[in-house]
A and B are shown apart, each in its own frame.
Chain A
Amino acid sequence: MIAMAIGVQVTFWIVAPCCVLLGLGMVLLRRMVHSALCLAGLMIGLGILYASLDAPFLFVAQMIVYTGSIMMVFVFAMMLIGIDNAEQMKDAIKGHLVLAIIAAVGVAALLIAAIGHAFVGDPAGLDSVNSASGGNAQSLAVLLFSHYVLAFEATAALVITAALGAMVLAHRERLGRKRTQTEHAAEQMRAYATAGVHPGPRPGPGVYARHNSVDYPALLPDGTVAPTSVSATLDERGQSVLDPQQLARPVIEAHNEIVGAHAEVSGQAVIPVQPLIAPEPIERSAPALPAPPAADELGEQAFEEPAPRTSEGDEQ
């Protein structure tokens, strides 16, 4: 009995600080998914506390219902709403944040003062009650299906109603007629004529991909980044690479190595080295591009990054 009580205490003092930290993380973290993960961890911690308080059935129910289904429903809703839907923290009411924190601290103080000493004496424990019907789940079942059977039936009705209500709420009627492809194309051309919106597909990412091609934008003929080639979500998170020099650097380095090796060989075997692309037509249109460092060994032929293939510049 003593050992068990110590086990309960150790569990509490390990789990309780984690729960408080995770709760604070849920409120303070800015990204919704981080908040959801914190809440899921907190619910697991509470489940562990339930297990230590002789409630194995509620422990499993907590894991399955809360951590398993409710949090997953939350994550699904996040997916539908969109994670990049930024939350503005501008106060609608003046001093709202300060007042809210004061209110929360006040409620905590009141609750602790009011019920913080409600338990008097040693805990009775649930050993005798649980073993009366052969176990915790059996004892709960006996209670649920005898004393609380009316409430149990009412929750059944509630759950069915909730499922129906959710389906009705989430159902969407199509209000207008579906647009045909012809109308869509006509609208695209109208947008092109009036606002100059490009009617074709957007450029794909990953021209200079080294690891994850989706965050590497395509380059326009003048060497600048094509902004529509990268997902706006990546842009918003600051995860896309938007520096053309950084994009071209590995290619230029590799090219210079090859050119250097060629130059060494050509010093002995007199093999003329051909450039990949002549510099002239690109130099005109791409002033921002870096000058290749090892290009001098080739005489007048300099290397430029292989941006769009300009066939007229390929004089060999």
Chain B
Amino acid sequence: MNPNDYLILSAILFAIGLAGVLVRRNALIVFMSIELMLNAANLVLVSSAYQHGDLGGQVATFFVMVVAAAEVVVGLAIVITIFRSRHTGSVDEAKLLSR
């Protein structure tokens, strides 16, 4: 089999996540797209661990998972705080600094 297929799959998933970040306005969906991009990067790490016979990639994936969990917790807390004060879940509405 061609191990490069994993790289192409993760590139496609990363681009889908990027499109989600750029196109969608809902803060939660933007967050989910960021998670998708992290997962795409994880797939590269795991497949390169398999390719090179080295567990370092899997350890890196493990750390990415931990950091992603922490990031999601803090990020969703911020989203909920913004929703409480502005009653919106849209990323376009939080623009106090632009004036």
Contact = CB atoms under 8 A, between A and B. Distances in A.
- Greatest chain B CB density within 10 A among A12, A23, A161, A166 is at A23
A116 interface: yes
Given A74-B28, A104-B22, A165-B77, A158 B67 contact: yes
Contacts of A104: 15-16, 18-19, 22
A144 B75 CA distance: 27
Given A53-B46, A74-B28, A23 B36 contact: yes
B59 A144 contact: yes
Interface string A114-134: 011111001111101110000
Interface in B43-65: 43-44, 46-56, 58-59, 61-63, 65
Interface in A15-64: 16, 19-20, 23-24, 26-27, 32, 35-36, 39, 42-43, 46, 49-50, 53-55, 57-58, 61-62
Contacts of B14: 107-108, 111
A161 to B, nearest CB: 8
A77 B3 contact: no
B62 A27 contact: no
B48 A140 contact: no
B1 A12 contact: yes
Chain A interface mostly helix, strand, loop or mixed? helix
Contact of B11 (A65, A112, A165): A112
B73 A81 contact: no
Contacts of B43: 46, 49-50
A63 to B, nearest CB: 11
Contacts of A66: 35, 39, 65, 68
Nearest to B88: A85
25 contacts: A16-B5, A20-B13, A26-B16, A53-B46, A61-B65, A70-B68, A73-B76, A77-B76, A77-B79, A78-B28, A81-B89, A82-B89, A104-B18, A116-B7, A118-B4, A119-B48, A123-B51, A130-B55, A136-B58, A140-B59, A158-B67, A158-B70, A159-B66, A166-B76, A170-B80
Interface of B: 1, 3-9, 11-20, 22-26, 28-29, 31-33, 35-36, 39, 42-44, 46-56, 58-59, 61-63, 65-74, 76-81, 83-84, 88-90, 92
Given A8-B1, A54-B50, 20 more contacts: A32-B29, A42-B36, A46-B43, A49-B46, A61-B65, A65-B69, A70-B69, A77-B28, A80-B80, A81-B28, A87-B29, A112-B11, A116-B8, A117-B4, A119-B7, A124-B53, A126-B50, A130-B55, A148-B63, A165-B73
